Amino acid sequence: MPSDLLPRLLVHLEEKRKKSCVILSGGIGAGKTRTGERLAAALTARGFTVGGILSPRVVRGGKTIGYTVRDLASGVEQPFASLNPPGVTVGKYFISEQGLAFARSAIARASRIAQAVFVDEVGRLELSGRGYAPALRALLHSRALPILLIRSSFVDAVVKTFSITHHEILSVEPDAPVSHPA
């Protein structure tokens, strides 16, 4: 995890004057989820209330075969995406309807009670108005700090689609750990 990420997050959590959003951006396999796990643990250790979801990979034989979804507040995990039906098709994966409902519920609950809410990952489904989109819209209007994990190629579309005005993009690209205020 680049050393500047935690201090940048703390600035947003301690800055009460304007509503902001933090975007952890990187390519496929850049370490967004791993970085989110470390940041969530560091914030919790500093006494912040953390919630939302992270979606760790399920790897078998060195290949990604799916994802789980973890509620950061409870630690409970559920199956989320797999290479096999049933589910909502997104790329080569099938997203579980139960996993989506579980994730939306965790995001909504965290929006009401947490100081920092992680959402991993905002992408094609949300851009089409499905997936986490309703819970994400509520989060963006809550008092919590949204920390959105977004593939680099989707950042501009997500910012525009969800009308995110005050945000900072923190890159987790393995070879380019740079922050970009916007």
Region 24-39: what's the mean pLDDT? Answer: 94
Name the domain count of the chain.
1
Region 142-153: what's the mean pLDDT? Answer: 96
Find, among 154, 122, 120, the residue nearest to 38 by Cα. Answer: 120
Give the pLDDT of residue 18: 65
Q: What are phi and psi of 154, to 5 degrees?
A: -105, -10
Give the pLDDT of residue 178: 41
The pLDDT > 90 percentage for the chain reads 82
* Structure tokens given for 155: 């950042």
HSE of 140, CA atoms in CB hemisphere, 13 A: 20
- CA–CA distance from 73 to each of 1, 53, 81 (Å)? 22, 8, 21
Chain centroid to Cα 118, Å, comes to 4
Give the pLDDT of residue 19: 74
- CA–CA distance from 167 to each of 12, 18, 63, 109, 128 (Å)? 9, 10, 34, 22, 21
Give the pLDDT of residue 149: 98
Print the domain residue range for 141. Answer: 5-181
Burial label, 97 (beta-carbon count in 10 A; 0-12, 13-18, 19+): exposed
Region 55-67: what's the mean pLDDT? Answer: 96
Q: The CATH number of the domain where 135 resides is what?
A: 3.40.50.300
Chain centroid to Cα 101, Å, comes to 16
Residues in the chain: 182
Give the pLDDT of residue 17: 54
Going by pLDDT thresholds of 50, 70 and 90, the confidence category of residue 1 is low
